[in-house]
A and B are shown apart, each in its own frame.
Chain A
């Protein structure tokens, strides 16, 4: 499983950070969200899929 964020779309809504703080973060000077762990283990699939679903601008893609 691989997480990618379309940085042209991300508007730092922060919904993904609330759902999956272990995988997404927005630092003080960040223009777009940072992916903390782009290749999480299979056991985190539900959380990561939920984060992608909650993104208001559908910027998060999950492959594999």
Chain B
């Protein structure tokens, strides 16, 4: 029998992720294990004016399912989205309401306005466009030969896809992408020099969303912005002006960076696992969804999200009070032995994969089928047109404890 000392818990420190170990997906897996096994409802206190004061952290896969699904006990509409004090879609703290910060009937109503644009069948219609972006991206990469995968391959496709989904005209995309990039890592000074820059980008995006709304009211198209500004049968707008802005901010902050992150961590794992790489190569004409979901699992692009307890209750022996914040540590739930066979192993053919990277309840990622299709097509194109993909230097990570961005992933590719 071995006795192990409890690891120091630093699951919300930037440096834990910035200096993460590439052999454990960049994640503090030992700390996560300790929490799941010994402190499944762990009280995290913060001492930073930019962050909330405290949160109960749940880390087991099953508990995350429960918190995410039980919206009556764990509300999304009582303030805060993650551990940050200020989030543009938090109406309780100066932001605008969006799907992710609304519950009950109003959430359902907002989701219904958009859902049709995100079903698996509708999304399949985007395949042709995505294929073209993937071709352009791989053309550019082949010309370079050696490059940072994050910028050259993983950046453009999710951005263009977001532009398409939302309906951003071609001539506005460069500036739109510029703002979106600013939210990706508000605390990594290599990406955003100061928090003011983030606020400025959000301001610009909000002004732009009103311009785009005007454009789509005048010329509706088959895109999300047109759905957001549409009117119902009685002639009343389906969404308030605040909800329109909130949902644009939600899409801008939730769609592109996350997909880029999943692609980058996924590529890194393939390069670490020659067998997995060969497995994918054999299936390059129709990449299975199991690979994509396994990439999304180990990437855990958002480490956590939070909810608010709506009444006093006990959770794993702890007294959670009404108004307390409860954090769902998705990244820990994705490595829970209670839910996964050998979770620390990257398995491209994993069939039972109850990962929580997209959430698990009524707020479950609306863009999950879009993101999965983007990844499938991009990797198909990349594998079809290369004979090898090799590391050209070590991976490094973005300095952030919420969004698990990859900062640099140098690779060299050889044409097929």
- Report if A14-B69 is in contact (Cβ < 8 Å); known contacts: A56-B364, A57-B361, A57-B362: no
Interface stretch of the complex, out of B110-118, B260-268, B320-328: B110-118
Residues of the A chain whose Cβ atoms lie less than 8 Å from the Cβ of B108 = 11
Asked if A13 is an interface residue, CB under 8 A from chain B, the answer is yes
Q: Which of B349-381 contact A (CB under 8 A)?
A: 354, 359-362, 364, 368-369
Residues of the A chain whose Cβ atoms lie less than 8 Å from the Cβ of B368 = 14
Whether A56 contacts B119 by the Cβ 8 Å rule is no
Asked if B122 is an interface residue, CB under 8 A from chain A, the answer is yes
Whether A25 contacts B69 by the Cβ 8 Å rule is no
Whether A12 contacts B115 by the Cβ 8 Å rule is yes
Residues of the B chain whose Cβ atoms lie less than 8 Å from the Cβ of A12 = 115-116, 119
Closest CB of chain A to B7's CB: distance in Å?
Answer: 33
Asked if A62 is an interface residue, CB under 8 A from chain B, the answer is no
Closest CB of chain A to B401's CB: distance in Å?
Answer: 26
Closest CB of chain A to B159's CB: distance in Å?
Answer: 24
Whether B69 contacts A28 by the Cβ 8 Å rule is no
Report how far A4 CA is from B289 CA in the complex, Å.
Answer: 26
Report which of B111, B119, B354, B360 forms a contact with A26, defined as CB distance below 8 A. Answer: B119
Report how far A58 CA is from B289 CA in the complex, Å.
Answer: 23
Residues of the A chain whose Cβ atoms lie less than 8 Å from the Cβ of B116 = 12, 28-29
Closest CB of chain B to A25's CB: distance in Å?
Answer: 7
Whether B115 contacts A25 by the Cβ 8 Å rule is no
Closest CB of chain B to A5's CB: distance in Å?
Answer: 15
Asked if A49 is an interface residue, CB under 8 A from chain B, the answer is no
Report how far A30 CA is from B122 CA in the complex, Å.
Answer: 11
Whether A11 contacts B112 by the Cβ 8 Å rule is yes
Report which of B111, B118, B121 forms a contact with A28, defined as CB distance below 8 A. Answer: B121
Task: Render A18-34 as a binary contact track against B, CB cut-off 8 A, 1 for contact.
Answer: 10000001111111000
Whether B364 contacts A15 by the Cβ 8 Å rule is yes
Closest CB of chain A to B269's CB: distance in Å?
Answer: 22
Q: Which of B57-87 contact A (CB under 8 A)?
A: 69
Residues of the A chain whose Cβ atoms lie less than 8 Å from the Cβ of B354 = 54
Residues of the A chain whose Cβ atoms lie less than 8 Å from the Cβ of B120 = 14, 17-18, 26
Q: Which of B91-136 contact A (CB under 8 A)?
A: 108, 111-112, 115-116, 118-122
Across the A-B interface, the 4 shortest Cβ-Cβ residue pairs: A56-B364, A26-B119, A12-B115, A14-B120
Interfacial residues, chain B to chain A (CB-CB below 8 A): 69, 108, 111-112, 115-116, 118-122, 289, 354, 359-362, 364, 368-369
Question: Can you pick out 20 interface pairs between chain A and chain B where the beta carbons lie within 8 Å of each other?
Answer: A11-B108, A11-B112, A12-B119, A14-B368, A17-B121, A18-B120, A18-B289, A26-B119, A26-B120, A28-B121, A29-B116, A30-B119, A31-B112, A54-B354, A56-B69, A56-B361, A56-B362, A57-B69, A57-B361, A58-B69
Interfacial residues, chain A to chain B (CB-CB below 8 A): 11-15, 17-18, 25-31, 54, 56-58
